[in-house]
Chains A and B, each alone.
Chain A
Amino acid sequence: MIDIGFLEVAIAICLMILAIILARWQRTGTEKELAIGTVRSFVQLVAVGYALEFIFGMENFFAIIGTMVVMMMVGAYTAGKRAVNIKNGSVISFIAIFTGSLVTLGLMLGLGIIKAKAQYMIPLGGMIIGNSMNCSALVMERLYSDISGNKLAIETSLSLGKSWQDASRTYFQRAIKAGMMHMLNFFKTVGLVALPGAMTGMILAGASPLKAVLIQIIVGYMLTAAVTVAGIVAAQLAIRQMFTTHHQLKL
């Protein structure tokens, strides 16, 4: 494997300069965004790289947990902002992301598949948190739009003596499905159309393809489990804000 340093990155930037020149020549109107994006991603990723080097260097369990909690808070805030119509959306997302991460990482640690080291916890945690964040935002948005858009159907159900759980079951299921669609589609095309990121990265770093595939499978199952837990938690908490215990729709 070639030893990668800042020199190699500087050469790679030439590709971006080429892309910007091309965009300008063809007047695509994207050259400004490309330039800003190049600088921005460079700064952000290098900063994260140094931060992770620092945390990895400490090899302190509480530093790992602290980092993950910060990541969860940022993720929860982002998801909450996307689901504007859900009260306390950020709090709900935090609980959802936290539960999803705790269950899956806890199980992996308990079964001895991974160790409580920054090398495993931070990248896996990052993937879990990112995917759970997307899922809980999608679930909450879909739940609100479906339930507020089907008031007549729901209240007809309630008026026929159904519980709020029965009256809203279809919309609950649809929301969970919407949140997990990305994961379910991933299963269909993985390896055929797209080579997943973790696997590609390992192969580039010199690991054997079979080993990279095995790790990717574990990562895929773990992400799906985490997203399932997060989606269900987010849906259960969000839907409880839309009904009263007396089977009344509050929207």
Chain B
Amino acid sequence: MDGAHVTTPDAILDIKGLNRSVLVKPGAKRIIIDDFNFSFSEGQIYTIVGPSGSGKSSLLRLLNRLDERDDGEIIFQGESIDSIPVQALREKIALVFQMPYVFPGTVESNLLYSRSKKHENERNELIDLLNRVGLDEMYLPRNPENLSLGQQQRVALARSLSMEPEILLLDEPTSALDPGASRTIEELLTNLNQTMNLTLIIVTHNFRQALRLGGISLVLIDGRIIEAGPTKELFENPANEQTRKFIAGELR
């Protein structure tokens, strides 16, 4: 094992030597993720910050296997994700996209979309899901396409929570929303983390948002972690020159 890599005992997701590159044109590869090593602990909030094109979104897509890594290990709850059926993995490590997509129908049909098993007291469970994202049962029969983007993102969040995931990956979940709706989502996320002990890995290009979310930040530049640590300390006192530049707004 990599000498610099330390596995923490309560690691829920352990990543070793992760690499991903894409073929830009025949014979020309572009490195997206470059030897990524990190151990994510259970019940923690992580923010992945960095300029656009640094590989943040690509990293999330590797974790729920929307994309395939070139090499490296991803260990989820002590088990390689390759040994977990992909569809089951995506229920355990759920991904919420930057732009919410709601399926035509009702909020209710969206919340039931991912579930294969039928529950008793279905309706109460759905109301509970809506409450967790700050909506109420009045929304169940509504057409989600008529909701505001912020409300659609909350429906998308509730829809992912219906799978009872262990880890929630969020890819710039508020960058399509106005500041008010963004704050609401931020508060919902910190709340979910505290009440459900849900591990959150949130990609953002906005370090102020990272500060509000708290937890631990990873600074990703050109597919590499250049700095990681408690968010407040990291931004108040960056050890790395590139982190300092990113905070000063010189890296976009």
Verify A159–B94 contact, CB threshold 8 A.
yes
Whether a CB of chain B sits under 8 angstroms from the CB of A88 is no
Stretch in A60-68, A138-146, A149-157 touching the partner: A149-157
Whether a CB of chain A sits under 8 angstroms from the CB of B88 is yes
Contact A160-B114, Cβ < 8 Å, known A246-B65, A247-B86, A247-B87: yes
A217-B176 Cα distance, complex, nearest whole Å: 56
Chain B 142-172 interface 0/1 with A at a Cβ cutoff of 8 Å (1 = within): 0000000000000010011001000000000
A163-B5 Cα distance, complex, nearest whole Å: 35
Verify A161–B163 contact, CB threshold 8 A.
yes
Verify A248–B90 contact, CB threshold 8 A.
no
Verify B90–A158 contact, CB threshold 8 A.
yes
Whether a CB of chain B sits under 8 angstroms from the CB of A87 is no
Verify B101–A161 contact, CB threshold 8 A.
no
Q: B113's contact among A160, A244, A246, by CB below 8 Å, is which?
A: A160
Would you list which residues of chain B between 157 and 197 have a CB under 8 Å from chain A?
159-160, 163
Verify A246–B90 contact, CB threshold 8 A.
no
Verify B95–A159 contact, CB threshold 8 A.
yes
A246-B114 Cα distance, complex, nearest whole Å: 18
A157-B103 Cα distance, complex, nearest whole Å: 9
Chain A 156-182 interface 0/1 with B at a Cβ cutoff of 8 Å (1 = within): 111111110000000000000000000
What's the minimum C-beta distance from B199 to chain A, rounded to whole angstroms? 17
- CB nearest neighbor in B for A249: B66
Verify A161–B114 contact, CB threshold 8 A.
yes
Verify A159–B66 contact, CB threshold 8 A.
yes
What's the minimum C-beta distance from A104 to chain B, rounded to whole angstroms? 37
Verify A159–B64 contact, CB threshold 8 A.
yes
Q: A160's contact among B67, B90, B99, by CB below 8 Å, is which?
A: B90
Verify B68–A159 contact, CB threshold 8 A.
no
A249-B86 Cα distance, complex, nearest whole Å: 13
Verify A155–B113 contact, CB threshold 8 A.
no
A30-B65 Cα distance, complex, nearest whole Å: 57
Interface residues in A, total, Cβ within 8 A = 16
Verify A158–B66 contact, CB threshold 8 A.
yes
Give every chain A residue within 8 A of B116 (Cβ-Cβ): 161
Give every chain A residue within 8 A of B139 (Cβ-Cβ): none
Which of B67, B101, B113, B114 has its CB near the most chain A CB atoms (within 10 A)? Answer: B101
Give every chain B residue within 8 A of A161 (Cβ-Cβ): 87-88, 90-91, 114, 116, 163
What's the minimum C-beta distance from A10 to chain B, rounded to whole angstroms? 56
- CB nearest neighbor in A for B160: A160
Would you list which residues of chain B between 80 and 113 have a CB under 8 Å from chain A?
86-88, 90-91, 94-95, 97, 99, 101, 103, 113
Verify A153–B87 contact, CB threshold 8 A.
no
Verify A159–B97 contact, CB threshold 8 A.
yes
What's the minimum C-beta distance from A173 to chain B, rounded to whole angstroms? 14
A248-B103 Cα distance, complex, nearest whole Å: 19
A85-B163 Cα distance, complex, nearest whole Å: 36
B-to-A contact residues, CB < 8 Å: 64-68, 86-88, 90-91, 94-95, 97, 99, 101, 103, 113-114, 116, 156, 159-160, 163
15 contacts between A and B (CB under 8 A): A153-B103, A155-B97, A156-B103, A156-B156, A158-B66, A159-B95, A161-B90, A161-B163, A162-B87, A162-B114, A246-B68, A247-B87, A248-B65, A248-B66, A248-B67
Across chains A and B, which 6 residue pairs bring their CB atoms closest together, nearest first?
A: A160-B114, A156-B101, A159-B95, A161-B91, A161-B87, A152-B101
15 further interface pairs, Cβ-Cβ under 8 Å (given A152-B99, A161-B87): A153-B101, A155-B66, A155-B97, A156-B97, A156-B103, A160-B113, A160-B114, A160-B159, A161-B114, A161-B116, A162-B114, A246-B65, A247-B87, A248-B65, A248-B67
